[in-house]
Chains A and B, each alone.
Chain A
Amino acid sequence: DAGVTQSPTHLIKTRGQQVTLRCSPKSGHDTVSWYQQALGQGPQFIFQYYEEEERQRGNFPDRFSGHQFPNYSSELNVNALLLGDSALYLCASSLGGLNTEAFFGQGTRLTVV
């Protein structure tokens, strides 16, 4: 049973560029959440997708957008990258609306130069 998979593992981008990160949820899970983790800090919630719609959103600018596909996989897009966007981006999957655990992928390390 595959867990949560994210791609790519590492990424280097230049300021002003755009980036797309991808996530496949754990088998049987229908909800995908994205988190940003700066070095030395805890993860911060970006947004959550369920039934292909954004259900919740954290305190992140509109430069951060996402999408969920019918197979429940998801993408995180960040436009006009800033140096401060350098972080580990984590994807978590869960069963929507239920009291179950959230499982995380290995993350994508984004470096903006």
Chain B
Amino acid sequence: SQQGEEDPQALSIQEGENATMNCSYKTSINNLQWYRQNSGRGLVHLILIRSNEREKHSGRLRVTLDTSKKSSSLLITASRAADTASYFCATDKAAGNKLTFGGGTRVLVKP
């Protein structure tokens, strides 16, 4: 079973626009990580946010975490065609523990 659910399942935007996707989870967590996957290939790690953090930035990425609502969001600013991919959130309950993934958001950035 999957811990998280991403919303929306699919997103289509124009190059230069911002893309926002959300992740909800069911149980308490230790960390939440976001990954990108291109065309069914390996997962690329984007960002890790700890349960005691509320916001984190990395380049054009902004991640927020609301543990009271058990949800996280990933914002990609000024999107590029190369951002076209599936994005997954993954949670763990303890350090070094297994990751539980959501079903992903498929993002299409049109040039």
Interface residues of A (CB under 8 A from B): 4, 6, 31, 33, 35, 39, 41-45, 48, 50, 56, 58, 88, 90, 92, 94-107, 109
Nearest residue (CB) in B for A98 is B95
Chain B positions within 8 Å of A, measured between CB atoms, are 2, 30-31, 33, 35, 40-45, 48, 50, 88, 90, 95-104
Asked whether A31 and B96 contact (CB < 8 A) given A104-B42, A104-B43, the answer is: yes
Report the Cα distance A109→B50, complex, angstroms.
Answer: 32
Contact partners of A106 in chain B: CB under 8 A:
41-42
Cα of A107 to Cα of B50 in the assembled complex, Å: 27
Contact (Cβ within 8 A) A58 B96? no
Candidate in B40, B90, B99, B100 with the most chain A CB atoms within 10 angstroms: B99
| B45 and A104 contacting across the interface, CB-CB below 8 Å | yes
The answer to whether A56 and B42 have CB atoms under 8 Å apart is no
